Amino acid sequence: MAKHTQTDFFHHAPMMHMLASICLHVYNISMHTKHISLLESISPGLHIDPLDQEHIHAAQNHLNSLTKPRGSLGRLETLACRLFAISSGALPLSVSPALMLTVAADHGIAAQHVSPYPQAVTRQMVQNFLHGGAAINVLCNISGLDLRIVDAGCCGGAFPQHPMLVDRRLGDGTADFSQGSAMQRMTCLKGLRMGVELAQKTIQSGYRCLGIGEMGIANSTAATALYCAFLRRNPEDMTGPGAGADKTMIGHKIHVVRKALEVNKRALLGDAIDILAAFGGFEIVLMTGLLLGAAAQRVPVLVDGFISSAAYVAALAICPAVSEYAILAHSSAEPGHLLALHQLTGAVELDTPLLHLGLRLGEGTGGAIAYHLLRCASAIFNGMATFNAAGVLEKPC
Fold of the domain spanning 98-375: Rossmann fold (3.40.50)
209 φ/ψ angles, rounded to the nearest 5 degrees = -155, 140
User: In which residue ranges of the chain is CATH 3.40.50.10210 found?
Assistant: 98-375
* pLDDT for the residue 338: 87
Of 276, 311, 329, 318, nearest to 296 by C-alpha is 318
Which residue of the set 214, 283, 324, 363 is catalytic? 363
CB 129 within 8 A of CB 368: no
213 φ/ψ angles, rounded to the nearest 5 degrees = -145, 180
Q: What is the C-alpha separation between 287 and 268, in angstroms, rounded?
A: 21
How long is the chain? 397
pLDDT digit string, tens, across residues 204-244? 999 999 999 999 999 999 999 999 999 999 999 999 898 88
Provide the whole-model pTM.
0.90
CB 276 within 8 A of CB 183: no
Q: Order of strands, edge to edge, in the sheet holding 146-153? A: 165-167, 146-153, 98-105, 209-215, 301-303, 326-328
* pLDDT for the residue 349: 59
Confidence band for 307, pLDDT divided at 50, 70 and 90: very high
Lowest-pLDDT range of 29-33, 106-110, 223-227: 29-33
* pLDDT for the residue 2: 47
386 φ/ψ angles, rounded to the nearest 5 degrees = -80, 165
Q: What is the CA radius of gyration of the chain?
A: 23
Angle at 177 between CA 173 and CA 180, to 5 degrees: 115
Share of the chain above pLDDT 70, in %: 89
DSSP letter at 167 equals E
Please give the full DSSP string across 50-69, using - where no structure is assigned.
Answer: PPPHHHHHHHHHHHHTBSS-
pLDDT digit string, tens, across residues 317-353? 999 999 999 999 999 999 899 899 888 876 555 568 9
Question: How many CA atoms within 13 Å lie on the side-chain side of 324?
Answer: 22
Q: What is the C-alpha separation between 29 and 167, in angstroms, rounded?
A: 39
Please give the full DSSP string across 319-356, using - where no structure is assigned.
Answer: -GGGGGTEEE-B--SSHHHHHHHHHHHTT-GGGS-SB-
Question: How many CA atoms within 13 Å lie on the side-chain side of 38?
Answer: 26
Mean pLDDT of the chain: 91
Q: What is the C-alpha separation between 56 and 85, in angstroms, rounded?
A: 6
Q: What is the mean pLDDT of residues 147-168?
A: 98
CB 48 within 8 A of CB 321: yes
Q: Does 363 participate in catalysis according to the annotation?
A: yes
Confidence band for 397, pLDDT divided at 50, 70 and 90: low
Q: Indicate if the pLDDT at residue 201 is higher than 60.
A: yes
pLDDT digit string, tens, across residues 35-78? 678 999 999 999 999 999 999 999 999 999 999 999 999 999 99
